Amino acid sequence: MHTLELTVNGQTCRVEVGLKTTLLEVLRDKLYITSPKVGCNTGDCGTCSVLLDGVLVRSCITNALSVQGKSVTTLEGITEPGDIHPLQKAFHEHYGSQCGFCTPGMILASKALLDVNPSPTRDEVKQALSGNLCRCTGYVKIIDSVLAAADEMKS
């Protein structure tokens, strides 16, 4: 076993991990942070997406020891008590979430986009979300939500 030190949602943590432990397993099974989901465990569906030093990664194919000393943000980390992120508000109000299983990954992928491009076009949103699958919405409402959040954040 090896000791992994990382910061999760602003909190420093120390956990024991094996050589093949994934970041997703650290988050879900050791820290009980359950918003990143196990959808495919092969890096194809995007439900496990988290931000690693602000960059979108698929935690199911990210080796835990490779994030030594880094900072991880999950959906829980962008929610302030009593206050939600404009992306969360927009996904709620514009029906960007149906069953909710892909939603954590979708919102983080959207945040990764808006952090570097506050005024994306529809096509840029599609491109940014191309690694995240959804089986309920047909994506239209998700893209609407991201564009609505971008508008809200500018005003």
Partner 1 sequence: MSKVIGQRVTRYDGMSHVTGETKFVDDQVVPGTLTVKALRSPVSKGKIKNLDISAAAKMPGVAGIITAADVPCNAFGLVPDQPVLVSEDIRYRGEAIAAVAAVDEDAAMEALEKIGLDIQEQQAVLDPLESMKEGAPQVRPEGNLQMWDGHDYRQVNLGDVDQAFEQADEIVESTHLHPSVEHAPMEPICSLAVPHAGPKLTVYTVSQALYFHLGMLCGILQMEPGSVQCKQWKAKTGSAWRHNTGYADVNYIGGTVGGGFGGKNDIMADHVAALLALKTGRPCKWRWTRAEDLLYSTFRGAWHITIKDAVTKQGRIIGRQMTSIRDAGAYASLNPYVVEKHCYLGAGPYFIPNVRVRGYCVYTNKPPASSMRGFGITPAAFATEVQLDKIADRLGMDPWEVRLTNAFRKGEYTPTKRVLNSVAMIEVLQNLAAKAGVELPGHLKAMASTQERG
Which one, 94 or 128, has the nearer CB to partner 1? 94
User: Which residue, among 31, 40, 91, has the nearest Cα to 64 in the 3D structure?
Assistant: 31
- The residue from 2, 122, 135, 154 that contacts partner 1 (CB under 8 A) is 135
Which one, 92 or 154, has the nearer CB to partner 1? 92
Supply the minimum distance, in Å, between the C-beta of residue 42 and partner 1: 7
Supply the minimum distance, in Å, between the C-beta of residue 26 and partner 1: 14
Residues 11-70 that bind partner 1 (CB under 8 A): 32, 34-35, 37-42, 44-45, 47
Which one, 107 or 114, has the nearer CB to partner 1? 107
Residues 6+ apart with CB under 8 A from 32: none
Which SS3 state, helix, strand or coil, does residue 144 take?
Answer: helix
User: Which residue, among 20, 6, 56, 53, has the nearest Cα to 36 in the 3D structure?
Assistant: 56
Q: What is the x/- site pattern for partner 1, positions 64-103, by CB under 8 A?
A: ----------xxx--x----x--xxx-xxx-xxxxxxxxx
- The residue from 6, 112, 134, 143 that contacts partner 1 (CB under 8 A) is 134
Applying CB under 8 A, does 107 fall inside the site for partner 1? yes
Question: Cα dist. 124→69, 114, 117, 128, 130 in Å?
Answer: 31, 10, 9, 6, 10
